[in-house]
């Protein structure tokens, strides 16, 4: 089997295929970008792929500056510096180039560049997104280098409010990139551990979207196929980072997860967001650790759905137990820790984690209702390794 070289939209226009980062300048031009700010993270900023992209853009007549002063979990001041870079540099579009942090930061910088209100006035609550000047949002081209968040096809971004130490979800339809270039060659240098963490993030998106209550047949179908791709290709991508077929299918799985979770997420993300904000933990890694504990908590509410999932994935034995066994085996195979304690999280901030989790927008679509008591129990279970 070989990877396709194809274009599709849902609704972002996606250009998929090895080597297609060569189309970056043309993609920017098609959105009317004449001077681009390329937003990436500090780890990527000095790598040849960034220099090559800037030089290729310049050769094509597209001047491009690089902004990389962002943290692994972007905070409000990162965005403010990026907005100042856009305004002072006279940029009229943004290239979000990198993993989830670069995607979220780049999209938010493009969104905030023409706004007069505080960014947290646009938190994903009620109709706060209508406060924005939609005409002032800059066009965005996204080039993901990881396969996890799927933020390249998302209308939201997660940014930490430093004053409150809370990770907040900002939302606006105009944050959706106009074009995403999904080139599996950009992901080849990703270390095995980060490949595992981001791949499990894609899985968490699909699993929670599929598990969320309500009727959204399109999201359910996308989530099912996304989980199949993770099952078939994540272990191979972790084992051999140069396996372009595995890398490409994981890029597709990540995009599918982000498309599916418009249906909703749940307790995995409700816990992961405050843990990231308070402990600095990698989002995908935290999701990976928390997943089976949330599954066990939701068991009675999702048993029927998991029976169908087990059939689709061809899991021996069938039903909820087969899905749980697969998740636990996958985590062990790709080197995911079994407890939150194993990734440096402790009980010292339990009250803050629980308070933020209860209030997180993703909590509302968990299959079982969430409150402070059961979230505290879930957090303790994940800290100590209790799946019962």
pLDDT digits (tens, 9 = 90+) for 37-58: 999 999 999 999 999 999 999 9
Q: Phi and psi for 67 in degrees, rounded to 5?
A: -120, 120
Taking each helix axis from N to C end, the angle separating 283-313 and 217-239, rounded to the nearest 10 degrees, works out to 110
- Whether residues 58 and 119 share a domain: the answer is yes
Dihedral Cα 154, 261, 165, 373, nearest 10 deg = 170
Select from 165, 186, 207 the last residue of a domain: 186
Residues 174 and 276 in one domain: no
Q: What are the tens digits of pLDDT across the range 241-260?
A: 999 999 999 999 999 999 99
Q: Is there a domain that residue 327 lies in?
A: yes
- Do residue 46 and residue 164 come from a single domain? yes
pLDDT in tens, 211-242: 999 999 999 999 999 999 999 999 999 999 99
* Position 70 in a domain: yes
154 and 14 inside one domain: yes
Q: Are 66 and 58 in contact (CB under 8 A)?
A: no
- In this structure, what CATH number is given to the domain that contains residue 373? 1.20.1090.10
Regarding whether 135 and 46 lie in a shared domain, the answer is yes
pLDDT tens per residue, range 287-317: 999 999 999 999 999 999 999 999 999 999 9
Is residue 170 in a domain? yes
pLDDT digits (tens, 9 = 90+) for 60-69: 999 999 999 9
How do strand 64-67 and strand 93-98 relate by DSSP bridges?
unpaired
Q: Is residue 1 part of a domain?
A: no
Mark whether 197 and 153 lie in a shared domain. no
Range(s) of the domain holding residue 312: 190-384
Q: Mark whether 129 and 37 lie in a shared domain.
A: yes
Residues 229, 367, single domain; the answer is: yes
198 part of a folded domain: yes
Collapsed DSSP state (helix, strand, coil) of residue 72: coil
| Average pLDDT of the segment spanning 2-25 | 92
288 burial (CB, 10 Å; 0-12 / 13-18 / 19+) is buried
What mean pLDDT value characterizes the chain? 96
Q: How many domains does the chain have?
A: 2
Structure tokens at 30: 């098609």
pLDDT range class, residue 347, cuts 50, 70, 90: very high
List residues bridging with 171 in a β-sheet.
156
**Residue 331 lies inside a defined structural domain of this protein:** yes
Q: Enumerate residues 6+ apart whose C-beta is below 8 A from 113.
A: 83, 86, 87, 91, 94, 136, 137, 138
Asked if 19 and 158 sit in the same domain, the reply is yes
Whose structure tokens read 């979800």? 169
Return the HEC string of 169-194. Answer: EEECHHHCCCEEEECHHHHCCCCHHH
Where is the domain boundary, 186, 207, 223? 186
Among 341, 320, 337, residue whose Cα is nearest residue 384: 341
Same domain (yes/no): 251, 162 = no
Q: Please tell me whether residues 220 and 101 are part of one structural domain.
A: no
Instruction: Among 186, 203, 227, identify where a domain stops.
Output: 186
Q: Whole-structure pTM over 0.85, yes or no?
A: yes
Question: pLDDT of 168-213, one tens digit each?
Answer: 999 999 999 999 999 999 999 899 999 999 999 999 999 999 999 9
- Residue 197 maps to a domain: yes
With a CB cutoff of 8 Å and minimum separation 6, the contacts of 69 are 42, 78, 81, 82
Q: Is the pLDDT of residue 105 over 80?
A: yes
**CATH code (residue 102):** 3.40.50.1970
Written as six digits, the tokens of 17 are 């295929």
Same domain, 142 and 110: yes
- Determine contact, residues 130/153, Cβ cutoff 8 Å: no
How confident is residue 1, by pLDDT bands cut at 50, 70 and 90? Answer: low
Q: Is residue 138 part of a domain?
A: yes
Residue 3 confidence (pLDDT) above 90 = no
Give the model confidence (pLDDT) of 128-164 as tens digits.
Answer: 999 999 999 999 999 999 999 999 999 999 999 999 9
């Amino acid at each position: 089997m070989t990877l396709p070289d194809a274009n599709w939209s849902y609704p972002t226009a996606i250009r998929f295929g090895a080597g297609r980062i060569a189309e970056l300048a043309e993609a920017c031009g098609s959105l009317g970008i004449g001077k681009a700010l390329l937003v990436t993270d500090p780890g990527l900023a000095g790598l040849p792929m960034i220099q090559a992209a800037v030089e290729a853009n310049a050769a094509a007549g597209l001047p491009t500056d690089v902004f990389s002063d962002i943290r692994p979990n972007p905070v409000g001041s990162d965005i403010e510096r990026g907005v100042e870079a856009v305004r002072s540099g006279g940029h009229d579009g943004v290239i979000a180039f990198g993993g989830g942090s670069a995607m979220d930061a780049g999209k938010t910088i493009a969104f905030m560049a023409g706004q007069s209100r505080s960014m947290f006035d646009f938190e994903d609550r009620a109709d706060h997104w209508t406060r924005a000047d939609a005409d002032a949002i800059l066009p965005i081209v996204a080039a993901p280098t990881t396969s996890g968040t799927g933020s390249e096809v998302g209308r939201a971004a997660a940014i930490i409010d430093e004053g409150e130490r809370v990770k907040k979800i900002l939302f606006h339809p105009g944050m959706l990139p106009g074009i995403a270039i999904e080139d599996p060659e950009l992901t080849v240098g990703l270390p095995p551990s980060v490949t595992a963490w981001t791949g499990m993030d894609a899985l968490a998106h699909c699993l929670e979207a599929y598990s969320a209550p309500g009727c959204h047949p399109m999201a359910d179908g996308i989530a099912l196929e996304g989980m199949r791709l993770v099952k078939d290709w994540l272990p191979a991508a972790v084992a051999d980072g140069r396996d372009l077929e595995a890398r490409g299918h994981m890029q597709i799985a990540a995009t599918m997860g982000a498309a599916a979770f418009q249906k909703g997420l749940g307790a995995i993300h409700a816990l992961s967001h405050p843990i990231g904000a308070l402990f600095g933990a990698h989002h995908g890694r935290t999701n990976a650790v928390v997943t089976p504990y949330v599954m066990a908590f939701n068991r009675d509410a999702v048993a029927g759905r998991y029976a169908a999932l087990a059939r689709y994935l061809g899991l021996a034995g069938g039903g909820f137990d087969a899905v749980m066994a697969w998740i636990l085996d996958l985590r062990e195979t790709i080197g995911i820790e079994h407890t939150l304690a194993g990734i440096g999280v402790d009980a010292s901030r339990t009250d803050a984690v629980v308070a933020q989790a209860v209030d997180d927008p993703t909590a509302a679509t968990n299959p079982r209702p969430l409150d402070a008591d059961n979230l505290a129990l879930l957090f303790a279970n994940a800290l100590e390794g209790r799946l019962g």
